[in-house]
Structure 1
Amino acid sequence: MNSLPPLRQPCPPGTCACRRDELLEEPGADLRILRILRLTRHEEQRLLERLENIRSLADLERLQQRMYEQLGIRLSISPSHNEVRSMRGIAIDFVEQPGLCRKTRQAIPAAIRRGLERQPEIAYRLLDAHDLLRDA
């Protein structure tokens, strides 16, 4: 017997564009495609807590890699093209992915920004990695 792991509860109709139902009804859908739906609310809270408590740029990069491997979430974090005066100036973008809930799309960048505000040296390393502090 082949049973699915616990899946995220559906969003109220009309509030999200994650296309959860379409993914589940797709005839060729396998676990690789559906892996984002395995991010339950409890697991999402654990992920957000880990993102808020990052300790280094390497730790953040490891979490990005694990989110991709386990959930298929491709995330890029880089300084924006304008000035970076606060953590809001750091661009956190997702690659378009069906199944990723609207609230999760908002919660992950917010958690990363809170983590960067707690550990500003990580933001400095990020800026340095993009060669923005070479003249400082």
Structure 2
Amino acid sequence: RIEFTEDFAVVGGITIPLAVRDRNQGRITEARANLARTEAETAAARVYIETALFVLYQELKHNLELAQRLNQDVIPRFERALADTRRAYELGRYSYFEWSVVQEELLEANNDLLEANIGAHRIIIEIERLTGVRFSRPVTAQ
């Protein structure tokens, strides 16, 4: 009530909220979800590559051990057996068939050695491809 003019007045108010909260909450949430997805994909790719590298490393070890065993044990024994069989063939104690069987076994062992070395080289190439790092060659004694 206004006493001076003897009037009545009504006072009203409107509340308008100020932009305290960021309007881009949806985009921020989307960006966080994309980041989490990317991190999960990166972790999955890392696990895949580490698993592949482990399997390749085991295959490489197997091929190198096989090549070493063939080089140091199997092939020298077949070479000695071939020399002994050849002498026996020349003396008439063994037939040509027996001599050719030992030759064939030596050729198979040499073929296995070649396959093991080729397999090792292919695996090294695949490891280099996955890691992007060139394998260093071991220093050989001369």
Alignment TM-score, normalising by the size of structure 1 = 0.26
Q: By percentage of residues, which structure has more strand?
A: 1
Q: By percentage of residues, which structure has more helix?
A: 2
Higher relative contact order (CA closer than 8 Å, sequence separation 6+): 1
Alignment TM-score, normalising by the size of structure 2 = 0.25
Whichever of the two has the greater Rg, that structure is 2
